[in-house]
């Protein structure tokens, strides 16, 4: 199996791996895939146990049901778990790091070994994949095998982290349901006590005060758990701009939101990918969908130069996985040298172009629908498939990517008084863009937020607000 076919096979099974949320079943799928695609005789997956500072085997092909434990820093797998560097041994018995004792006990003969560290999105090592005895003509693991295992181990690490997070969220949800049920029972009991002790005002007041304190404590716990979800989501949002010519702004309506953006890096340093989406709905469900999108982008975005292909892959991977929510998305790949923007759109607002005294939309001849509304096959049948377009942007101009939380904002006081008021897009947006056009991008973005806040009349919004401004030099 050549490297292209191997990569195609890895991409083909990525959906099933990303959608599998049972951790034990996921680990078996990962290792069966590794052994098959890498054309190996057997493989072992270790996860790090931080409490004991050991590697513990979760799937060990060919060694029965017993668990293998390896101290961090000891042996080949332990060394990789400690320093994160790949070890590729062509002849195990010629390498002093290899311990032949296991071969003598099991009767197995180890010829060659490839060991690779799995890292999560924070670049922390969470485990190790070790594969033994390359089949085929080569007879040993090559640099191409290392590259393929590196790509797949990133997918595996993300999938494992997602499965762990899914399990933790499930436990959190069950815990919250238990607390709500318990609180309901407590409140019912409190009402009963209040009714029965209606003539005993002093005692009743004391009981009610205790109940109030309990409710306050429980609310604080729930707020703390929501804050934890917010911190998890903010790890997915880029905290640093990839270029001085790009500035960003992100403000969710709740502690967690459905707006998301990301920057994609390529081997060609002249290229930068700009991704922006808006999930229907708000709160934890929308934030969970953005985490799925982030995971999928991490798998393939930096290897694919077709925005339309990325949108199609997202649509296929997320279809029937979002509980009825849909997603608008825009993805463009900008070439700093040629000023060409290669893009595809999935029902999202077109960016604004600001040049001299003119404000216009990014020109597009395609009409598109949001993600997860229809399958790729149905989109093709309706002649609505996601398609690539290209535009050469004018020098000395600005382009503003955004979500509809910017354009659809209305004045809060007019709304309270039932006064019909235009949205920001119709009222003051174009005037604000022209007034701020000559500012550096970071000041431009802050200025736009101040204009939006002034128009709204408060810094509390009814939708998430996300903006990305890029200076075209």
Span 78-135, pLDDT tens digits: 999 999 999 999 999 998 888 888 788 878 899 999 999 988 888 889 889 999 999 8
Yes or no: say if 300 and 316 are a contact pair by the CB < 8 Å rule.
no
CATH no. for 238-472: 3.60.40.10
Condensed to tens digits (0 to 9), the pLDDT of residues 450-459 reads 999 999 988 8
- Classify residue 47 by its DSSP letter: E
Yes or no: say if 295 and 158 are a contact pair by the CB < 8 Å rule.
yes
Residue 179: which residues within 8 A CB-CB, separation 6 or more?
218, 221, 222
Q: Where are the beta strands (DSSP E) in 65-168?
A: 69-71, 87-89, 113-119, 125-134
pTM of the model: 0.56
Count Cα atoms within 13 angstroms, Cβ side, for 166: 17
Cα angle at 452 between 285 and 282, to 5 degrees?
Answer: 5
Count Cα atoms within 13 angstroms, Cβ side, for 348: 31
The Cα–Cα gap between 116 and 77 comes to 8
Yes or no: say if 153 and 118 are a contact pair by the CB < 8 Å rule.
yes
Query: 407: closest CA among 286, 262, 278, 246?
Result: 278
For 410, the token pair is: 């209305």
Report, as ranges of residue numbers, the positions in the chain whose pLDDT lies below 50: none
Query: 233: closest CA among 278, 292, 193, 187?
Result: 292
The Cα–Cα gap between 303 and 264 comes to 10
The Cα–Cα gap between 39 and 120 comes to 25
Yes or no: say if 81 and 55 are a contact pair by the CB < 8 Å rule.
yes
Query: 303: closest CA among 14, 11, 33?
Result: 11
Q: What residue segments make up the domains of the chain, in order of their start?
A: 3-160, 166-231, 238-472
The Cα–Cα gap between 361 and 208 comes to 59
Q: What is the pLDDT of residue 24?
A: 72
Strand arrangement, sheet containing 340-346: 259-265, 271-279, 327-335, 340-346, 389-392
Yes or no: say if 203 and 210 are a contact pair by the CB < 8 Å rule.
no
Query: 122: closest CA among 85, 161, 86, 87?
Result: 161
Count Cα atoms within 13 angstroms, Cβ side, for 69: 7
For 243, phi then psi, to 5°, come to -160, 145
Question: In 3-state terms, what secondary structure has residue 334?
Answer: strand
Element (H, E) at 56: strand 54-60
Neighbours of 395 (CB within 10 A): 9
Q: How far is CA 339 from CA 194, 274, 335, 355, 398, in A?
A: 72, 14, 5, 14, 12
For 298, the token pair is: 């991490």
The CA radius of gyration of the chain, in Å to the nearest whole number, is 27
Yes or no: say if 471 and 254 are a contact pair by the CB < 8 Å rule.
no
CB-based burial of residue 209 (10 Å sphere; 0-12 exposed, 13-18 middle, 19+ buried)?
exposed
User: How close are the terminal C-alpha atoms of the chain, in Å?
Assistant: 46
- Classify residue 10 by its DSSP letter: H
Crossing angle (nearest 10°) for helices 283-300 and 3-19: 170
CATH no. for 3-160: 3.30.450.40
Q: Is 136 left (phi over 0), alpha (psi -120 to 50) or beta?
A: left
């Amino acid at each position: 199996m050549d490297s292209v076919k191997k990569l195609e096979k890895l991409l083909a099974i990525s959906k099933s791996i990303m959608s599998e949320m049972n951790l034990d079943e996921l680990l078996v799928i990962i290792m069966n895939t590794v052994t098959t695609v890498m054309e190996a005789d057997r493989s072992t997956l270790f996860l790090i146990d931080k409490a004991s500072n050991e590697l513990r085997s979760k799937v060990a092909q060919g060694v029965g049901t017993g668990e293998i434990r390896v101290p961090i820093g000891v042996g080949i797998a332990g060394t990789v778990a400690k320093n994160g560097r790949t070890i590729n041994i062509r002849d195990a018995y010629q390498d002093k790091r290899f311990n032949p004792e296991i071969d003598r006990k099991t009767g197995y003969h180890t010829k060659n070994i490839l060991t690779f560290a799995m890292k999560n999105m924070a670049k922390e090592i969470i485990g190790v994949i070790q594969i033994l005895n390359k089949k085929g003509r080569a007879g040993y693991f090559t640099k191409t095998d290392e590259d393929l295992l590196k790509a797949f181990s990133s997918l595996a690490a993300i999938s494992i982290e997602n499965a762990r997070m899914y399990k933790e969220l499930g436990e959190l949800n069950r815990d919250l349901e238990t607390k709500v049920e318990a609180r309901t029972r407590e409140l019912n009991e409190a009402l009963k006590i209040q009714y029965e002790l209606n003539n005993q005002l002093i005692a009743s007041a004391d009981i009610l005060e205790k109940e109030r304190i309990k409710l306050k404590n429980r609310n604080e716990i729930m707020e703390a758990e929501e804050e934890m979800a917010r911190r998890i989501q903010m790890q997915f949002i880029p905290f640093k701009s990839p270029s001085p010519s790009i500035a960003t702004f992100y403000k969710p309506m709740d502690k967690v939101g459905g707006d998301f953006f990301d920057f994609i890096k390529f081997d060609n340093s002249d290229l930068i990918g700009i991704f922006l989406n808006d999930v229907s709905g708000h709160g934890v469900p929308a934030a969970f969908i953005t985490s799925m999108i982030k995971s999928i982008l991490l798998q393939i975005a930096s290897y694919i130069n077709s925005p339309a292909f990325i949108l199609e892959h997202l649509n296929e991977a997320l279809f029937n996985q979002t509980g009825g929510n849909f997603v608008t998305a825009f993805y463009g790949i900008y070439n700093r040298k040629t000023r060409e923007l290669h893009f595809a759109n999935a029902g999202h607002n077109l960016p604004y172009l600001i040049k001299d005294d003119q404000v216009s939309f990014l020109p597009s001849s395609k009409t598109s629908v949001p993600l997860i509304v229809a399958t790729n096959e149905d989109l093709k049948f309706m002649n609505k498939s996601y398609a690539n377009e290209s535009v050469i942007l004018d020098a000395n101009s600005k382009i503003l990517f955004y979500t509809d939380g910017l354009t659809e904002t209305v004045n809060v006081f007019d709304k309270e008084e039932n006064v019909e008021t235009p949205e920001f897009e119709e009222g003051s947006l174009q005037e604000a863009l022209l007034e701020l056009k000559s500012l550096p991008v970071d000041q431009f973005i802050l200025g736009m937020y101040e204009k939006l806040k002034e128009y709204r009349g408060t810094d509390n919004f009814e939708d998430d607000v996300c903006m990305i401004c890029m200076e075209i030099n």
